Amino acid sequence: MLGTVQTAPGGTNRIVVLHQPIGVAVLVTPWNFPAAMATRKIGPALAAGCSVVLKPASDTPLTALAIAALLAEAGVPDGVVNVLPSRRSGPVVAAMLAEPAVRKLSFTGSTEVGRTLLHAAADTVLSCSMELGGNAPFLVLPDADLDAAVAGAMVAKMRNGGEACTAANRFYVHSSVADEFGDRLAAAMGGLRVGPGTDERTQLGPLITPAAVGDVDRLVQDAVRRGASVRTGGRALDRPGFFYAPTVVDEVPESAAILREEIFGPVAPIVRYEDVDEAVRQANNTEYGLVSYVYTADLAAGLRVAEALESGMVGLNRGVVSDPAAPFGGVKQSGLGREGGHEGLLEYTEAKYIATSW
Protein backbone atom coordinates (compact mmCIF):
# COMPACT_ATOMS: atom_id res chain seq x y z
CA MET A 1 0.00 0.00 0.00
CA LEU A 2 1.45 3.34 -1.06
CA GLY A 3 0.80 6.90 0.07
CA THR A 4 2.18 10.22 -1.18
CA VAL A 5 3.73 13.35 0.25
CA GLN A 6 4.08 16.54 -1.77
CA THR A 7 4.36 20.27 -1.35
CA ALA A 8 1.21 22.22 -2.21
CA PRO A 9 1.57 24.26 -5.42
CA GLY A 10 1.26 27.49 -3.43
CA GLY A 11 4.03 26.42 -1.06
CA THR A 12 1.82 26.94 1.98
CA ASN A 13 1.65 23.37 3.29
CA ARG A 14 2.33 19.72 2.61
CA ILE A 15 -0.20 17.35 1.07
CA VAL A 16 -0.15 13.90 2.69
CA VAL A 17 -2.36 11.25 1.13
CA LEU A 18 -3.02 7.93 2.87
CA HIS A 19 -4.99 4.93 1.59
CA GLN A 20 -6.95 3.42 4.46
CA PRO A 21 -9.21 0.31 4.57
CA ILE A 22 -12.69 1.17 3.37
CA GLY A 23 -14.44 -1.14 5.87
CA VAL A 24 -16.46 -4.34 5.77
CA ALA A 25 -16.75 -5.61 2.19
CA VAL A 26 -19.61 -7.73 0.85
CA LEU A 27 -18.40 -10.02 -1.94
CA VAL A 28 -20.93 -11.64 -4.28
CA THR A 29 -19.54 -14.20 -6.73
CA PRO A 30 -20.87 -16.27 -9.67
CA TRP A 31 -20.89 -20.01 -10.27
CA ASN A 32 -18.59 -20.30 -13.30
CA PHE A 33 -15.22 -19.77 -11.52
CA PRO A 34 -16.13 -20.38 -7.87
CA ALA A 35 -12.54 -20.44 -6.55
CA ALA A 36 -11.00 -17.71 -8.71
CA MET A 37 -13.88 -15.28 -8.27
CA ALA A 38 -13.72 -15.65 -4.47
CA THR A 39 -9.96 -15.41 -4.07
CA ARG A 40 -9.50 -12.46 -6.44
CA LYS A 41 -11.85 -10.48 -4.16
CA ILE A 42 -10.74 -11.83 -0.76
CA GLY A 43 -7.03 -11.33 -1.50
CA PRO A 44 -7.00 -7.57 -2.14
CA ALA A 45 -9.63 -6.93 0.56
CA LEU A 46 -7.41 -8.57 3.19
CA ALA A 47 -4.32 -6.82 1.81
CA ALA A 48 -6.09 -3.48 2.21
CA GLY A 49 -7.11 -4.33 5.78
CA CYS A 50 -10.81 -5.11 5.25
CA SER A 51 -12.87 -7.96 6.65
CA VAL A 52 -15.28 -9.60 4.22
CA VAL A 53 -18.59 -11.43 3.94
CA LEU A 54 -18.64 -13.69 0.89
CA LYS A 55 -21.99 -14.67 -0.59
CA PRO A 56 -21.18 -17.41 -3.17
CA ALA A 57 -23.47 -18.38 -6.04
CA SER A 58 -26.34 -20.61 -4.98
CA ASP A 59 -25.25 -23.31 -7.46
CA THR A 60 -21.64 -23.50 -6.20
CA PRO A 61 -21.38 -22.89 -2.43
CA LEU A 62 -19.03 -25.75 -1.52
CA THR A 63 -15.89 -24.28 -3.11
CA ALA A 64 -16.32 -21.08 -1.11
CA LEU A 65 -16.72 -23.04 2.12
CA ALA A 66 -13.59 -25.04 1.32
CA ILE A 67 -11.62 -21.83 0.71
CA ALA A 68 -12.84 -20.43 4.05
CA ALA A 69 -11.70 -23.60 5.81
CA LEU A 70 -8.25 -23.32 4.22
CA LEU A 71 -7.97 -19.67 5.25
CA ALA A 72 -8.89 -20.57 8.83
CA GLU A 73 -6.27 -23.34 8.77
CA ALA A 74 -3.73 -20.80 7.47
CA GLY A 75 -4.37 -18.57 10.47
CA VAL A 76 -6.89 -15.97 9.32
CA PRO A 77 -8.62 -14.81 12.54
CA ASP A 78 -12.25 -15.69 13.17
CA GLY A 79 -14.66 -13.16 11.72
CA VAL A 80 -12.28 -11.74 9.11
CA VAL A 81 -13.43 -13.97 6.24
CA ASN A 82 -17.08 -14.98 6.52
CA VAL A 83 -18.99 -17.16 4.03
CA LEU A 84 -22.77 -17.07 3.87
CA PRO A 85 -24.33 -19.46 1.30
CA SER A 86 -28.02 -18.96 0.60
CA ARG A 87 -30.68 -19.81 -1.94
CA ARG A 88 -32.43 -16.54 -1.06
CA SER A 89 -29.73 -14.40 -2.67
CA GLY A 90 -31.72 -11.19 -3.11
CA PRO A 91 -33.04 -10.76 0.45
CA VAL A 92 -29.77 -11.91 2.02
CA VAL A 93 -27.58 -9.51 0.05
CA ALA A 94 -30.08 -6.67 0.53
CA ALA A 95 -29.93 -7.18 4.31
CA MET A 96 -26.14 -7.03 4.25
CA LEU A 97 -26.09 -3.85 2.14
CA ALA A 98 -28.39 -2.17 4.66
CA GLU A 99 -25.97 -2.86 7.52
CA PRO A 100 -24.11 0.39 8.47
CA ALA A 101 -20.77 -1.41 8.97
CA VAL A 102 -20.73 -2.46 5.30
CA ARG A 103 -18.95 0.12 3.13
CA LYS A 104 -18.04 -1.89 0.03
CA LEU A 105 -19.82 -4.13 -2.46
CA SER A 106 -17.86 -6.17 -4.98
CA PHE A 107 -20.05 -8.13 -7.39
CA THR A 108 -19.30 -10.38 -10.34
CA GLY A 109 -22.27 -11.57 -12.39
CA SER A 110 -24.85 -10.49 -14.91
CA THR A 111 -25.50 -6.89 -15.86
CA GLU A 112 -29.17 -7.36 -14.96
CA VAL A 113 -28.38 -8.33 -11.36
CA GLY A 114 -25.66 -5.68 -11.20
CA ARG A 115 -28.19 -2.95 -11.98
CA THR A 116 -30.42 -4.20 -9.16
CA LEU A 117 -27.53 -4.19 -6.68
CA LEU A 118 -26.48 -0.68 -7.70
CA HIS A 119 -30.00 0.52 -6.92
CA ALA A 120 -29.84 -1.15 -3.50
CA ALA A 121 -26.36 0.22 -2.78
CA ALA A 122 -27.52 3.76 -3.52
CA ASP A 123 -29.56 3.89 -0.31
CA THR A 124 -26.40 3.76 1.82
CA VAL A 125 -24.06 5.31 -0.79
CA LEU A 126 -21.85 2.22 -0.90
CA SER A 127 -18.66 2.05 -2.92
CA CYS A 128 -19.34 -0.51 -5.66
CA SER A 129 -17.09 -2.59 -7.87
CA MET A 130 -19.02 -4.32 -10.63
CA GLU A 131 -17.67 -6.95 -13.02
CA LEU A 132 -20.69 -7.56 -15.21
CA GLY A 133 -21.63 -9.23 -18.49
CA GLY A 134 -19.65 -9.21 -21.71
CA ASN A 135 -20.16 -9.51 -25.44
CA ALA A 136 -16.56 -9.81 -26.56
CA PRO A 137 -15.74 -9.17 -30.23
CA PHE A 138 -12.89 -11.13 -31.83
CA LEU A 139 -11.50 -9.25 -34.86
CA VAL A 140 -9.43 -11.07 -37.48
CA LEU A 141 -7.73 -8.56 -39.77
CA PRO A 142 -6.85 -9.55 -43.36
CA ASP A 143 -3.13 -9.97 -42.61
CA ALA A 144 -3.60 -12.09 -39.48
CA ASP A 145 -1.64 -15.30 -38.93
CA LEU A 146 -4.54 -17.73 -39.21
CA ASP A 147 -2.78 -20.47 -37.27
CA ALA A 148 -2.39 -18.09 -34.35
CA ALA A 149 -5.87 -16.62 -34.81
CA VAL A 150 -7.60 -20.02 -34.74
CA ALA A 151 -5.54 -21.15 -31.74
CA GLY A 152 -6.39 -17.89 -29.97
CA ALA A 153 -10.05 -18.22 -30.93
CA MET A 154 -10.22 -21.67 -29.37
CA VAL A 155 -8.84 -20.36 -26.11
CA ALA A 156 -10.90 -17.16 -26.10
CA LYS A 157 -14.11 -19.01 -27.02
CA MET A 158 -13.78 -22.36 -25.30
CA ARG A 159 -12.18 -21.51 -21.97
CA ASN A 160 -14.55 -23.00 -19.38
CA GLY A 161 -16.70 -24.29 -22.26
CA GLY A 162 -17.63 -20.76 -23.26
CA GLU A 163 -19.22 -20.10 -19.86
CA ALA A 164 -17.04 -17.08 -19.10
CA CYS A 165 -17.61 -13.34 -19.21
CA THR A 166 -14.37 -13.01 -21.19
CA ALA A 167 -15.43 -15.56 -23.82
CA ALA A 168 -15.22 -14.38 -27.44
CA ASN A 169 -18.85 -13.85 -28.40
CA ARG A 170 -18.72 -12.41 -31.94
CA PHE A 171 -16.10 -13.18 -34.59
CA TYR A 172 -15.59 -10.40 -37.14
CA VAL A 173 -13.46 -11.87 -39.92
CA HIS A 174 -12.29 -10.08 -43.06
CA SER A 175 -13.94 -11.57 -46.14
CA SER A 176 -10.58 -12.34 -47.76
CA VAL A 177 -9.76 -14.89 -45.02
CA ALA A 178 -13.26 -15.75 -43.76
CA ASP A 179 -13.60 -19.05 -45.65
CA GLU A 180 -10.25 -20.39 -44.47
CA PHE A 181 -10.70 -19.15 -40.91
CA GLY A 182 -14.21 -20.62 -40.76
CA ASP A 183 -13.00 -23.98 -42.10
CA ARG A 184 -10.18 -24.18 -39.58
CA LEU A 185 -12.29 -23.05 -36.63
CA ALA A 186 -15.08 -25.49 -37.52
CA ALA A 187 -12.56 -28.33 -37.76
CA ALA A 188 -11.06 -27.44 -34.37
CA MET A 189 -14.44 -27.00 -32.68
CA GLY A 190 -15.97 -30.09 -34.27
CA GLY A 191 -12.98 -32.19 -33.23
CA LEU A 192 -13.44 -31.55 -29.50
CA ARG A 193 -14.30 -34.59 -27.42
CA VAL A 194 -17.48 -33.88 -25.45
CA GLY A 195 -18.12 -35.73 -22.23
CA PRO A 196 -18.25 -35.68 -18.43
CA GLY A 197 -15.44 -34.34 -16.28
CA THR A 198 -14.91 -37.81 -14.83
CA ASP A 199 -13.43 -38.90 -18.19
CA GLU A 200 -9.81 -37.76 -18.57
CA ARG A 201 -10.24 -37.68 -22.36
CA THR A 202 -13.00 -35.05 -22.18
CA GLN A 203 -12.18 -31.69 -23.77
CA LEU A 204 -15.61 -30.08 -23.37
CA GLY A 205 -17.96 -30.72 -20.49
CA PRO A 206 -21.64 -29.93 -19.90
CA LEU A 207 -23.26 -26.57 -19.37
CA ILE A 208 -24.42 -25.60 -15.89
CA THR A 209 -28.19 -26.25 -16.18
CA PRO A 210 -30.87 -27.36 -18.67
CA ALA A 211 -31.93 -23.71 -18.93
CA ALA A 212 -28.44 -22.80 -20.12
CA VAL A 213 -28.71 -25.36 -22.93
CA GLY A 214 -32.07 -23.91 -23.93
CA ASP A 215 -30.70 -20.35 -23.99
CA VAL A 216 -27.76 -21.33 -26.20
CA ASP A 217 -29.96 -23.27 -28.62
CA ARG A 218 -32.44 -20.38 -28.84
CA LEU A 219 -29.67 -18.05 -30.02
CA VAL A 220 -28.33 -20.54 -32.57
CA GLN A 221 -31.76 -21.28 -34.04
CA ASP A 222 -32.58 -17.57 -34.27
CA ALA A 223 -29.36 -16.97 -36.23
CA VAL A 224 -30.16 -19.83 -38.61
CA ARG A 225 -33.68 -18.53 -39.19
CA ARG A 226 -32.15 -15.18 -40.14
CA GLY A 227 -29.88 -16.74 -42.75
CA ALA A 228 -26.76 -17.96 -40.93
CA SER A 229 -25.28 -21.31 -41.91
CA VAL A 230 -24.13 -23.98 -39.46
CA ARG A 231 -20.58 -25.16 -40.16
CA THR A 232 -20.48 -27.63 -37.28
CA GLY A 233 -22.71 -28.54 -34.34
CA GLY A 234 -25.84 -26.47 -33.95
CA ARG A 235 -27.76 -28.70 -31.56
CA ALA A 236 -28.07 -30.05 -28.05
CA LEU A 237 -26.62 -33.54 -27.68
CA ASP A 238 -29.00 -36.42 -27.04
CA ARG A 239 -27.34 -37.91 -23.98
CA PRO A 240 -27.71 -37.65 -20.20
CA GLY A 241 -26.47 -34.29 -18.98
CA PHE A 242 -26.60 -30.69 -20.19
CA PHE A 243 -24.44 -30.96 -23.31
CA TYR A 244 -24.39 -28.70 -26.37
CA ALA A 245 -22.33 -29.54 -29.42
CA PRO A 246 -19.38 -27.22 -30.19
CA THR A 247 -20.88 -24.95 -32.83
CA VAL A 248 -19.72 -22.56 -35.55
CA VAL A 249 -22.32 -20.49 -37.42
CA ASP A 250 -21.17 -18.43 -40.40
CA GLU A 251 -22.47 -15.36 -42.25
CA VAL A 252 -24.49 -14.22 -39.25
CA PRO A 253 -26.57 -11.11 -40.02
CA GLU A 254 -26.28 -8.05 -37.80
CA SER A 255 -29.94 -8.45 -36.75
CA ALA A 256 -29.35 -11.82 -35.06
CA ALA A 257 -29.86 -11.96 -31.28
CA ILE A 258 -26.66 -13.98 -30.93
CA LEU A 259 -24.66 -10.82 -31.68
CA ARG A 260 -26.43 -8.81 -28.95
CA GLU A 261 -26.71 -11.33 -26.11
CA GLU A 262 -24.00 -13.08 -24.15
CA ILE A 263 -23.94 -16.69 -25.39
CA PHE A 264 -22.33 -18.41 -22.37
CA GLY A 265 -21.81 -21.63 -24.28
CA PRO A 266 -19.65 -23.32 -26.95
CA VAL A 267 -20.92 -21.35 -29.95
CA ALA A 268 -18.87 -19.14 -32.30
CA PRO A 269 -20.84 -16.85 -34.66
CA ILE A 270 -18.85 -15.45 -37.63
CA VAL A 271 -19.61 -12.09 -39.24
CA ARG A 272 -17.81 -11.21 -42.46
CA TYR A 273 -16.66 -7.66 -43.11
CA GLU A 274 -14.90 -5.66 -45.84
CA ASP A 275 -13.67 -2.56 -44.00
CA VAL A 276 -11.85 -2.56 -40.65
CA ASP A 277 -13.53 0.65 -39.52
CA GLU A 278 -16.91 -0.95 -40.16
CA ALA A 279 -15.87 -4.01 -38.14
CA VAL A 280 -14.88 -1.74 -35.24
CA ARG A 281 -18.25 0.03 -35.50
CA GLN A 282 -20.10 -3.28 -35.30
CA ALA A 283 -17.86 -4.47 -32.47
CA ASN A 284 -18.70 -1.32 -30.48
CA ASN A 285 -22.43 -1.58 -31.23
CA THR A 286 -23.32 -3.10 -27.86
CA GLU A 287 -24.10 -1.97 -24.33
CA TYR A 288 -21.23 -4.17 -23.12
CA GLY A 289 -17.52 -3.40 -23.08
CA LEU A 290 -15.56 -5.94 -21.07
CA VAL A 291 -12.91 -7.39 -23.39
CA SER A 292 -12.04 -7.49 -27.09
CA TYR A 293 -9.60 -9.56 -29.14
CA VAL A 294 -7.63 -8.48 -32.22
CA TYR A 295 -5.43 -10.60 -34.48
CA THR A 296 -3.13 -8.94 -37.02
CA ALA A 297 0.47 -9.15 -38.22
CA ASP A 298 0.72 -5.33 -38.14
CA LEU A 299 1.35 -4.18 -34.57
CA ALA A 300 0.65 -0.53 -35.38
CA ALA A 301 -2.70 -1.42 -36.97
CA GLY A 302 -3.50 -3.67 -34.03
CA LEU A 303 -2.82 -0.90 -31.52
CA ARG A 304 -4.97 1.55 -33.50
CA VAL A 305 -7.86 -0.92 -33.48
CA ALA A 306 -7.29 -1.71 -29.79
CA GLU A 307 -7.56 1.99 -28.92
CA ALA A 308 -10.75 2.35 -30.98
CA LEU A 309 -12.51 -0.61 -29.36
CA GLU A 310 -14.80 0.32 -26.48
CA SER A 311 -13.72 -2.24 -23.88
CA GLY A 312 -11.79 -2.23 -20.64
CA MET A 313 -9.36 -4.89 -21.88
CA VAL A 314 -7.98 -5.97 -25.25
CA GLY A 315 -6.14 -9.16 -26.15
CA LEU A 316 -3.82 -8.20 -29.01
CA ASN A 317 -2.73 -11.44 -30.69
CA ARG A 318 -3.61 -13.19 -27.42
CA GLY A 319 -6.60 -15.37 -26.56
CA VAL A 320 -6.25 -14.84 -22.80
CA VAL A 321 -6.13 -11.48 -21.06
CA SER A 322 -6.75 -12.41 -17.40
CA ASP A 323 -3.72 -11.82 -15.17
CA PRO A 324 -3.78 -11.26 -11.39
CA ALA A 325 -1.19 -8.48 -11.82
CA ALA A 326 -3.30 -6.55 -14.36
CA PRO A 327 -6.43 -4.40 -13.86
CA PHE A 328 -9.42 -6.54 -14.91
CA GLY A 329 -12.71 -4.82 -15.70
CA GLY A 330 -14.97 -3.27 -18.29
CA VAL A 331 -16.59 -0.08 -19.52
CA LYS A 332 -20.17 0.85 -20.39
CA GLN A 333 -22.57 -1.70 -18.84
CA SER A 334 -19.84 -4.29 -18.31
CA GLY A 335 -18.92 -2.81 -14.99
CA LEU A 336 -17.37 -0.29 -12.62
CA GLY A 337 -13.89 -0.39 -11.13
CA ARG A 338 -11.14 -2.96 -11.57
CA GLU A 339 -9.96 -6.20 -10.02
CA GLY A 340 -6.33 -7.27 -9.99
CA GLY A 341 -3.12 -5.29 -9.95
CA HIS A 342 -2.58 -2.20 -7.80
CA GLU A 343 -5.87 -0.78 -9.07
CA GLY A 344 -7.73 -3.75 -7.59
CA LEU A 345 -6.17 -3.14 -4.19
CA LEU A 346 -7.19 0.53 -4.19
CA GLU A 347 -10.84 -0.50 -4.73
CA TYR A 348 -10.88 -1.55 -1.05
CA THR A 349 -9.48 1.73 0.27
CA GLU A 350 -10.47 5.33 0.88
CA ALA A 351 -8.00 8.12 0.12
CA LYS A 352 -7.45 10.41 3.11
CA TYR A 353 -5.85 13.82 2.56
CA ILE A 354 -4.02 15.43 5.48
CA ALA A 355 -2.97 19.08 5.17
CA THR A 356 0.00 19.92 7.39
CA SER A 357 3.14 22.03 7.56
CA TRP A 358 6.61 21.41 8.92
Convert the chain into a string of H (helix), E (strand) and C (coil): CCCEEEECCCCCCEEEEEEEECCEEEEECCCCCHHHHHHHHHHHHHHHCCCEEEECCCCCHHHHHHHHHHHHHHCCCCCCEEECCCCCHHHHHHHHHCCCCEEEEEEECCHHHHHHHHHHHHCCCCEEEEECCCCEEEEECCCCCHHHHHHHHHHHHHHHHHCCCCCEEEEEEEHHHHHHHHHHHHHHHHCCCECCCCCCCCCECCCCCHHHHHHHHHHHHHHHHCCCEEEECCCECCCCCCCECCEEEECCCCCCHHHCCCCCCCEEEEEEECCHHHHHHHHHCCCCCCEEEEECCCHHHHHHHHHHCCCCEEEECCCCCCCCCCCECCCHHHEECCECHHHHHHCCEEEEEEEECC
The single residue of 163, 165, 262, 339 carrying the catalytic annotation is 165
Distance in angstroms (rounded) separating the CA atoms of residues 167 and 162: 6
Say whether 165 is catalytic.
Answer: yes
The single residue of 131, 163, 339, 347 carrying the catalytic annotation is 131
Cβ atoms within 10 Å of 158's Cβ, excluding its own: 22
Say whether 131 is catalytic.
Answer: yes
Q: Is-contact 170 271, C-beta < 8 A?
A: yes
Catalogue the active-site residues: 131, 165
